[in-house]
Structure 1
Amino acid sequence: MTTKPFQKILIANRGEIACRVIASAQKMGIATVAVYSDADRNAEHVKMADEAVHIGPPPAAQSYLLADRIIAACKQTGAEAVHPGYGFLSERASFCEALEKEGITFIGPKPKAIEAMGDKITSKKIAADAGVSTVPGFMGLIEDADHAVKIAGEIGYPVMIKASAGGGGKGMRIAWNDAEAREGFDRSKSEAASSFGDDRIFIEKFVEEPRHIEIQVLADAHGTCLWLNERECSIQRRNQKVVEEAPSPFLDAETRKAMGEQSVALAKAVDYQSAGTVEFIVDKHRNFYFLEMNTRLQVEHPVTELITGIDLVEQMIRIAAGEKLALTQDDVTINGWAIESRLYAEDPYRNFLPSIGRLTRYRPPAEIRNVDGVTLRNDTGVTEGSEISMFYDPMIAKLCTHAPDRLPAIDAMAEALDRFELEGIGHNIPFLSALMGHPRWREGRLSTGFIAEEYPDGFAPTEPDEAALGEFAVAAALLSHIHSERNAWISGARFPQAERRAQEEKVVRLAGAERRVSIDDTDGSFAVHLDGASRGVVYTGWAPGDTLAEVELDDRSLVFKVRAIAGGFNLSHHGVDLDVRVYSPRVAALAALMPEKVAPDTSNLLLCPMPGLVVSIAVKEGDTVEAGQTLAVIEAMKMENVLKAEKRAVVSKIPVAAGDSLAVDEVIMEFGE
């Protein structure tokens, strides 16, 4: 198609999704308008758009969630249509109606569909009437926590407690008993009120060993409705998707077709017009149950685009302009396999708690298209120097790979994550890297409980096996040798008597052990021995100062992130992160005599685990608390986090109060005997 549906559109969003929509619009020759808060004045989406309009202070409730500010920006710039992205106003029927009254087109479904599907209680009733399989549950008004406990008992534990107007994992809790149902109701209701302005809650049966699989639909105003295959989103943490893929490794053709046809039936039941997603819970027998319909573009839409070749944003724009879909169901195919990893500003070593700050280094791998059968795509809204704020979602980027089959796509993702340089904040790249090598993930044996089951005590750096330790030792020794050669060359320029050390013996200390590495580059290549055994010739183009080192060892190309530390390097590869010290034999003997630094004792303190706002303090000074008792609630990046006592203790001091903003490791309370 070469027609231009609109002359100018406004994107009522921020970050990577705003950049994503702008890219498709500009490809179509459509001028774009960005909106921004004070916190986003220098954001990438503002720079990328043709025009930009300031709409208010950093809190979303004072900027991105104000429909009148968006409409005023449209009038100011002459934008004919608004693409809402996801989140914010994307599923608010009143916003769509307000735009229509002003003669501005909403790039999304009509208000009726948004209203019907945006309410989880109503949507389940409509789904059941349309012949869509649904999960047992209570869709009526839940009066209070006691009522919630009664309903949960009638349905049978475990149950899922959800905000009716929820999304993105907010306002959701799983309860396995009465106490958890009571607390889950209170927390879900509170989160729902603060996040969506709607505190209605419903309860449904929690399907054990569930897989989260969703169907992408695309429908126009002329009666055409298509299903664009499925995405599996089972790798989740706190109901927030982390890794998605298309297609699912679990579905067969028969189940895929049944889910697709039911999704189309639901879309037609509400006269759906635009891109949308019907989400299902699928049990181990491939029985599937309707979960919800998202009446917007999904975060994970790129994997569908990669396997179908269909630009969903472009189709949304054309449908909104009244065009008929130029596709039929037969045109929708599955080409290869796509993986998406969500890069979050959260610290996996601190139970994935949110992290904020400035990106002091942001160097994603170069995007490629069908190079050796692999496509690499990175949807992002930040650059080096960007600020990750406490006001918005912590997602930094969506890294996607596409290959002819699943394992090549996973391997391409593993290498891409190894090449992704990100510093200045805590981030989940180490976890994503470890996941790509996890046997259960690689085999496709998934469930929404994967992370909780495989990392019950939280994520810790991957423990390297003997082969990996050898690779790290060789790599570190090689980098150290190159570094010392560079120093010798510099010294030799000033002091001709300085001799090049073509042969070196190194003692490498890592993971509590010592390895001996000898390197001989007399003839210009690196001949390496590890613990007396030859590792052959090793190749690398690394130079001192480089932050990535590609090392060819044993006919394998290994990519290490490199950071200089005292006496060696910090190296990371495939989720393994190690401080590696490299010494001469003499220095190694002396280093062994140095005392180990002892960490301070913080066992008598409750420290704030992330930057956030104190919602409430549940105890007072002088109280005796028991293990598991709630101490405080901290809100960070729109999620409430309940902090509980680890053991019996007496509260001796509480230096903070509700409403205080805290930094990481700031003291919330102290304990005594």
Structure 2
Amino acid sequence: MFSKILIANRGEIACRVIKTARRMGIKTVAVFSDADKDSLHVAMADEAVHIGAAPAAQSYLLAEKIIEACRQTGAEAVHPGYGFLSERASFATALKEAGIVFIGPNPGAIEAMGDKIESKKAAAAANVSTVPGYLGVIEDAEHAARIADEIGYPVMIKASAGGGGKGMRIAYSRDEVQDGFDRAKSEAKSSFGDDRVFVEKFIVEPRHIEIQVLGDKHGNIIYLGERECSIQRRNQKVVEEAPSPLLDEATRRKMGEQAVALARAVNYDSAGTVEFVAGQDKSFYFLEMNTRLQVEHPVTELVTGIDLVEQMIRVAAGETLALTQADVKLHGWAVESRVYAEDPYRGFLPSIGRLTRYRPPAEAVKDGITTRNDTGVFEGGEISLYYDPMIAKLITHAPTREQAIEAQADALDAFAIDGIQHNIPFLAALMSHPRWREGRLSTGFIAEEYKDGFHPTAPSPVLARRLAAVAAVIDNVGNARKRGISGQMPGQPVSFEHQRVVRLGGQSLPCEVDRAAGGFIVTFLDDAGKPQDTHELRSGWQPGEPVWSGVFDDEAIAVQVRPRLNGVALAHRGIAVDANVYTNREAELALLMPEKTEAGSGKQLLCPMPGLVVSIAVSEGQEVKAGEALAVVEAMKMENVLRAERDATVARILTKAGDSLAVDAVILEFA
């Protein structure tokens, strides 16, 4: 077994590998760029080596820097994580030539499966079901359009060397193919250094299901069940689960056997994933093979009890798999949510900055429920524009799917992040979505269920009263703290009005708040001031804590809490509301206050996120139509096309290609 390994990656996956290596008694070496010098993975590793500037092309993508770091530290093997160099056969070969072990498959398997075009050819040769498509070299956008015409719409344009949703477009017409082809090639070039793309048929209402395979260097290959990864946005996975609610045992076995057959055909010898696109009728077609560890591997680990990173290390060290196919059993259900630095209320645009608060839910195993948080950040750390916007992966496991989803919803409610925008409100709302709960999934789920984007919604009457009660209790605790600090009327009991009016999203909810043994009693009143319903709340919450965690009528709940004038901002189950807590007189006066309105910016095109201007598609004086492309801005490895919201004339252009812009920077002005 190795005594020291180097992790050629960053963020949460580097931290994840370090945890397993530490448990196995293996020392670790981290590598870091200028932007990552204070990162969590650097602090966790036994040693760390600086490898270059912030852009990945000047650091994490430089194989020679990784090899030199191994020489400096005496690392015997390299775990590549995912992304960066993880699927570069040339990197695995270079390590071998340097006498360093690659903790991943052999270069031949990477060559055969890492390239999506070649992998489809190999799959077809191995009698694996494949999607109709064109796997040859595509000359230009016109050539791509002719191919799409022959295949039939819709089609998927996809980077050959891609992954993670980069360099991928769905086209429903010839015009969309031509535009999508250029964008896919550009993204593929910048993300992977390879601008080849291919075109294939896009299956309507598809589900994305993948099989985890594991092989050793002695010819043993097994599959570890499946993962459902159909909840995607812009072809990037957002929520994953294991097993899939679609599959029965017969289909699972058929898919698993095909995945193993494909892996065996290329002598696969590590952890890898064979991805399929599945129809609602359980038909399935080979999509691609990822010759590396997947982002969503924790759900497989929790339902099988197998540490995939440990298995990769043991296989790389030459050990024989200790498991046979008969040993693989699936237990319970696991759900994973990807917590991203992005604003769900602004079209999920990337958000960067410092994490002024980062308080994830506690990792634990309690009452048959497991909560796990894989992360690479910490409070006070910074989310950079140079890398993927992932903050953490929150995973829950329980005996049933319903329990795992409920546990995930509870954990999301208890996850506090400040300083940047994040997608927890969206994830929390998704956990309560009826279609998700029923398992009626497809890769178009988000686009179909959130056609106009994700927007704040009003709480139901039941939830409104729950949140109002929490706000009233928080107000009571805060007032008691203030009286204690100010020392009002020392030595004498303080008499104060216990009636309050909670103003919640335009709705007034009068109530009475009384302290009781171990908690509070909140009684809501009707318009005549008569009691309606009563609730008991218990919590150890103190002012300043970002999550109110306690019991509401014997049900454990967690509510996000942020202070505001005369109240608090609350978030629970994806519902965010401002709750103002008033005395009766304050409530009367508050109704007389005019509401502020924000000024519009209709005469300007503002940069919706911090990013780099890739191109300006218009010129001064040009008339543009609604929907016409104005500029392309790149942020966190994704190119975003900014389009005109209405017909207008471009008056002045204030930026140029190559400019680095802050959020809301003016790109151009309209007449």
| TM-score bin, normalised by smaller chain | over 0.9
Query: Could you report, residue by residue, the CA deviation over 1:297-345 in whole angstroms, capped at 9, with x for unpaired residues?
Result: 0000011000111111111011111111011001100011011111101
2:201 matches 1:214: no
3-state SS, counterpart of residue 343 of structure 1: strand
2:450 matches 1:455: yes
- Aligned twin of 2:528: none
Q: 1:221 to 1:481 in 2, by over 3 A?
A: same
Cα distance, 1:535 vs structure 2:
1.2
3-state SS, counterpart of residue 160 of structure 2: strand
Q: 1:337 aligns with which of 326, 333, 336?
A: 333
- Aligned twin of 1:59: 55
The CA distance in 1 between the partners of 2:532 and 2:349, in whole Å, is 44
Cα distance, 1:526 vs structure 2:
2.3
- Aligned twin of 1:520: 514
1:584-663 to structure 2, matched below 5 A, reads: 584-663=583-662
- Aligned twin of 2:290: 294
The CA distance in 1 between the partners of 2:140 and 2:414, in whole Å, is 50
Q: Which amino acid aligns with 1:221?
A: K
- Aligned twin of 1:84: 80
Q: 1:346 aligns with which of 339, 342, 349?
A: 342
Query: Could you report, residue by residue, the CA deviation over 1:586-611 in whole angstroms, capped at 9, with x for unpaired residues?
Result: 11111111111110111121111111
3-state SS, counterpart of residue 179 of structure 2: helix
1:213-232 to structure 2, matched below 5 A, reads: 213-232=209-228
The alignment covers a number of residue pairs equal to 666
1:366-377 to structure 2, matched below 5 A, reads: 366-369=362-365, 371-377=366-372
Cα distance, 1:111 vs structure 2:
0.6
Q: Which amino acid aligns with 1:296?
A: R
Query: Could you report, residue by residue, the CA deviation over 1:547-574 in whole angstroms, capped at 9, with x for unpaired residues?
Result: 2212422332221111110110001111
Cα distance, 1:545 vs structure 2:
2.3
- Aligned twin of 2:189: 193
Q: 1:284 to 1:505 in 2, by over 3 A?
A: same
Q: Which stretch shows the higher mean deviation, 80-89 or 554-563?
A: 554-563
2:422 matches 1:427: yes
1:287-436 to structure 2, matched below 5 A, reads: 287-369=283-365, 371-436=366-431
1:546-561 to structure 2, matched below 5 A, reads: 546-561=545-560
2:208–2:276 Cα contact (<8 Å) kept: yes
* Long gaps (5+) in structure 1: none
1:491–1:498 Cα contact (<8 Å) kept: no
Q: Which amino acid aligns with 1:194?
A: S
Cα distance, 1:207 vs structure 2:
0.2
Q: Which amino acid aligns with 2:199?
A: I
- Using the size of structure 2 for normalisation, the TM-score is 0.98
Q: Which amino acid aligns with 1:14?
A: R
Q: Which amino acid aligns with 2:387?
A: Y
- Aligned twin of 2:576: 577
Query: Could you report, residue by residue, the CA deviation over 1:44-81 in whole angstroms, capped at 9, with x for unpaired residues?
Result: 11111111111011010000000000000001111111
3-state SS, counterpart of residue 299 of structure 1: coil
Q: 2:18 aligns with which of 19, 22, 25?
A: 22
Cα distance, 1:461 vs structure 2:
2.2
- Aligned twin of 2:504: 510
Q: 2:276 aligns with which of 262, 270, 280?
A: 280
Q: 2:155 aligns with which of 159, 164, 185?
A: 159
Query: Could you report, residue by residue, the CA deviation over 1:274-303 in whole angstroms, capped at 9, with x for unpaired residues?
Result: 000000000011000000000000000011
Cα distance, 1:538 vs structure 2:
2.8
1:23-62 to structure 2, matched below 5 A, reads: 23-62=19-58
The CA distance in 2 between the partners of 1:655 and 1:11, in whole Å, is 43
Q: 1:194 to 1:490 in 2, by over 3 A?
A: closer
Q: 1:48 to 1:434 in 2, by over 3 A?
A: same
Query: Could you report, residue by residue, the CA deviation over 1:479-530 in whole angstroms, capped at 9, with x for unpaired residues?
Result: 11222223233444664456143x5111111111111011123777522211
Q: 1:279 to 1:508 in 2, by over 3 A?
A: same
Q: 1:493 to 1:447 in 2, by over 3 A?
A: same
1:485–1:500 Cα contact (<8 Å) kept: no
Q: Which stretch shows the higher mean deviation, 519-528 or 577-586?
A: 519-528
The CA distance in 1 between the partners of 2:535 and 2:42, in whole Å, is 52
The CA distance in 1 between the partners of 2:538 and 2:307, in whole Å, is 41
- Aligned twin of 1:488: 483
3-state SS, counterpart of residue 498 of structure 2: strand
Cα distance, 1:654 vs structure 2:
1.0
Q: 1:499 aligns with which of 494, 497, 500?
A: 494
- Aligned twin of 2:566: 567
Q: 1:493 to 1:598 in 2, by over 3 A?
A: closer
The CA distance in 2 between the partners of 1:528 and 1:141, in whole Å, is 69
3-state SS, counterpart of residue 293 of structure 1: strand
3-state SS, counterpart of residue 167 of structure 2: strand
The CA distance in 2 between the partners of 1:105 and 1:616, in whole Å, is 42
Q: 1:525 to 1:362 in 2, by over 3 A?
A: closer
1:441-452 to structure 2, matched below 5 A, reads: 441-452=436-447
Q: 1:553 to 1:271 in 2, by over 3 A?
A: same
Q: 1:475 aligns with which of 470, 475, 499?
A: 470
1:66-145 to structure 2, matched below 5 A, reads: 66-145=62-141
The CA distance in 2 between the partners of 1:267 and 1:54, in whole Å, is 36
2:518–2:538 Cα contact (<8 Å) kept: no
The CA distance in 2 between the partners of 1:23 and 1:540, in whole Å, is 33
Q: Which amino acid aligns with 1:478?
A: V
The CA distance in 2 between the partners of 1:480 and 1:61, in whole Å, is 52
Q: 1:464 aligns with which of 459, 466, 470?
A: 459
The CA distance in 2 between the partners of 1:660 and 1:494, in whole Å, is 61
Q: 1:594 to 1:326 in 2, by over 3 A?
A: same
1:617–1:658 Cα contact (<8 Å) kept: yes
- Aligned twin of 1:271: 267
Query: Could you report, residue by residue, the CA deviation over 1:182-239 in whole angstroms, capped at 9, with x for unpaired residues?
Result: 1000100111111111111110000000000000000011111000000000000001
Q: 1:596 to 1:343 in 2, by over 3 A?
A: same
Cα distance, 1:373 vs structure 2:
0.4
- Aligned twin of 1:254: 250
2:206 matches 1:203: no
Q: Which stretch shows the higher mean deviation, 285-294 or 512-521?
A: 512-521
Q: 1:89 to 1:516 in 2, by over 3 A?
A: same
The CA distance in 2 between the partners of 1:591 and 1:437, in whole Å, is 33
- Aligned twin of 1:243: 239
The CA distance in 2 between the partners of 1:44 and 1:528, in whole Å, is 43
1:360–1:384 Cα contact (<8 Å) kept: yes
TM-align CA RMSD: 1.2
1:614–1:635 Cα contact (<8 Å) kept: yes
2:414–2:549 Cα contact (<8 Å) kept: no
3-state SS, counterpart of residue 45 of structure 1: helix
